[in-house]
Amino acid sequence: MTYWPGKKVVVTGGAGFLGKYVVKKLQAAACSDIFVPTIEEFDLTKESEIVRLYEQATPDIVIHLAAVVGGIGANRENPGRFFYDNLIMGIQLLEYARRYKVSKFTALGTICCYPKITPVPFKEEDLWSGYPEETNAPYGLAKKMLLVQSQAYRQQYGFNSIFLMPVNLYGPGDNFNPQSSHVIPALIRKCFEAMKNKDKEIVVWGTGQATREFLYVEDAAEGIVLATEKYDHSEPVNLGAGFEITIKDLTELIVNLTGFKGRIVWDKSKPDGQPRRCLNTDKALKEFGFKAKTSFAAGLRETIAWYKENLNKVV
């Protein structure tokens, strides 16, 4: 508990799904000076707004979580926006962190940085062995450039920034908007809406054969705070739970947990996305003692319970 007291911390995206959990973890670690720039107050794609942020907050540490993000459909519809907004935010935040002599910058990448075909489980050393999966490549590459910048700044300026790559996150408070949600909240919503409308089936994208790994949002927040405190190297680090599940098995599990009794119809005209995703998580454990704690079934139950309680508030 000696690291965080007295530190001034900016958490971009701190009002978002992951950000709220990171802010709670920081508060639990006795960090009392946390500045969360909201989207209404600061447009982080604009240089002048970033300067205003640094002038106003004068941070010691920046944890950059803000991102324009979504599932396969949202990535296919907005490749230009996902590339530009994520790239320009990250590049300028990191550059001005250097200029304003911030002591530590934690950049959040994504599993989408990895090549489409990567040996499973994904190791950090395989990051540059191919091109990312096409449907989310613009987003993945925009985030990946933050790693390049982070390493270049450490080399030239001795600037202390780190780069973390989480797998798909899920948990209470996730984005359930069908236009932009990821697979778990999208499936949960589909099941509840089908039950409400007395539909006999739900339609799911792809073949169901692709695999994914999921990290409970509270575990992810723990990993980010631990890394910010204890990790000071330029090599990227995976944040994951170290397991793999097919979309078919995932869908059947969510159908079972939500109580939907109808059929699952696979729309094979829609893309699967990356064929397989599963991270090697050894480095996070070795470097800063992070290991995911929440079992997948328990995390899903919490997420479904939250959705049921907040049905009327969800967009």
Position 76 pLDDT exceeds 90: no
- Tell me if 120 sits within 8 A of 178, measured CB to CB: no
* pLDDT 10s digits, 191-250: 999 999 999 999 999 999 999 999 999 999 999 999 999 999 999 999 999 999 999 999
Among the listed residues 239, 235, 228, the one whose alpha carbon sits nearest the alpha carbon of residue 105: 228
In whole angstroms, what separates CA 39 from the centre of its chain? 18
Given CA atoms 36, 41, 44, 49 in this order, what sign does their dihedral have? negative
Above pLDDT 70, what percent of the chain? Answer: 99
Give the whole-angstrom CA distance, residue 163 versus residue 228. Answer: 10
153 is catalytic: no
Helix axes 137-157, 79-99, angle to 10 degrees: 20
Position 71 pLDDT exceeds 90: no
* pLDDT 10s digits, 160-201: 999 999 999 999 999 998 887 889 999 999 999 999 999 999
pLDDT at 194: 97
* pLDDT 10s digits, 79-91: 999 999 999 999 9
Distances (CA, A) of 178 to 59, 73, 232, 242, 314: 36, 9, 38, 27, 11
Mean per-residue pLDDT, 33-62: 98
- Tell me if 284 sits within 8 A of 238, measured CB to CB: yes
Higher-confidence residue of 276 and 24: namely: 24
Mean per-residue pLDDT, 124-141: 94
* pLDDT 10s digits, 297-310: 999 999 999 999 99
Position 74 pLDDT exceeds 80: no
Number of alpha helices (DSSP H) and beta strands (DSSP E) in the chain: 10, 12
Position 1 pLDDT exceeds 70: no
Q: Taking all residues of the chain, what is their mean pLDDT, rounded to a whole number?
A: 95
Domain locations along the chain: 8-171+214-240+278-293
Query: Residue 233 forms beta bridges with which residues?
Result: none
Among the listed residues 250, 258, 266, the one whose alpha carbon sits nearest the alpha carbon of residue 193: 258
Q: Which two tokens stand for residue 149?
A: 């910048």
pLDDT at 182: 86
- Determine which one of 21, 54, 139, 307 is catalytic: 139
Position 70 pLDDT exceeds 80: no
* pLDDT 10s digits, 252-267: 999 999 999 999 999 9
Position 72 pLDDT exceeds 90: no
Mean per-residue pLDDT, 28-33: 96
Q: What are phi and psi of 87, to 5 degrees?
A: -65, -50
CATH topology for 8-171+214-240+278-293 is Rossmann fold (3.40.50)
- Among left, alpha and beta (phi > 0; psi -120 to 50; other), residue 51 is alpha
Is residue 271 very low, low, confident or very high in pLDDT (cuts 50, 70, 90)? confident
